């Protein structure tokens, strides 16, 4: 497709290729929504901090552990122990699932670790309300200044 006069194309169109069909969008996006060969190939050469680092490192750890434990979460949902849209794992649910054999203690520990990692990735800087709304004590630390020249002229 040739670009129209002025070089601007309608939204979603490209002079190189057409936009993908709607039926292809979700499968295409899914290729990088799970760790694996395709994800590694598409992210090769991109700097990745260690999982112990805050920020992106935490996010990548949560991404990996969430993927690794997704079969266990699916099992808990199929057994009616977790709602489909529930986020986070309640300790009572895990104890019950271990007791009835839905998951092993090792699997429950994996779920706990993944849950902690996801919560850490969600975490933002936390401040107590008094820290967040605190008014800096600038006035005490700023020396008194001479009036601005325009203010002096106005008073004369």
pLDDT, tens digit, 9 for 90 and up, residues 95-128:
999 999 999 999 999 999 999 999 988 887 666 7
Per-residue tokens: 27: 């499968």
- Predicted pLDDT of residue 112: 96
Give dist(CA 132, CA 128) in Å, integer: 6
CA 132 to chain centre: 23
14: alpha, beta or left? (left if phi > 0; alpha if psi -120 to 50): beta
With left for phi above 0 and alpha for psi between -120 and 50, is residue 8 left, alpha or beta? Answer: beta
- The conformational region for residue 149 under phi > 0 = left, psi -120 to 50 = alpha, else beta, is alpha
CA 12 to chain centre: 26
pLDDT value of position 22: 87
**Radius of gyration of the chain from Cα atoms?**
27
Rounded to the nearest integer, the mean pLDDT of the chain is 81
State pLDDT tens for residues 69-92: 999 999 999 999 988 877 778 899
More confident residue, 156 or 104: 104
Kindly state the DSSP code that residue 102 receives in the 8-state scheme. Answer: S
Comparing 18-27, 48-57, 114-123, the range with the smallest average pLDDT is 18-27
């Amino acid at each position: 497709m040739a670009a129209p006069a002025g070089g601007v194309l309608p939204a979603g169109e490209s002079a190189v290729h057409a936009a993908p069909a709607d039926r292809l969008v979700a499968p295409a996006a899914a290729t990088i929504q799970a760790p694996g060969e395709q994800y590694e190939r598409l992210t090769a050469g991109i700097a990745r901090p260690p999982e112990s680092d805050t920020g992106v490192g935490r996010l990548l750890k949560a991404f990996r552990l969430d993927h690794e434990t997704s079969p266990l979460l699916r099992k808990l949902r199929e057994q009616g122990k977790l709602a489909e849209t529930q986020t986070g794992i309640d300790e009572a649910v895990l104890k019950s699932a271990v007791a009835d054999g839905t998951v092993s203690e090792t699997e429950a520990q994996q779920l706990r670790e993944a849950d902690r990692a996801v919560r850490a990735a969600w975490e933002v800087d936390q401040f107590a309300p008094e820290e967040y709304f605190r008014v800096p004590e600038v006035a005490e630390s700023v020396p008194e200044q001479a009036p601005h020249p325009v203010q002096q002229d106005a008073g004369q």
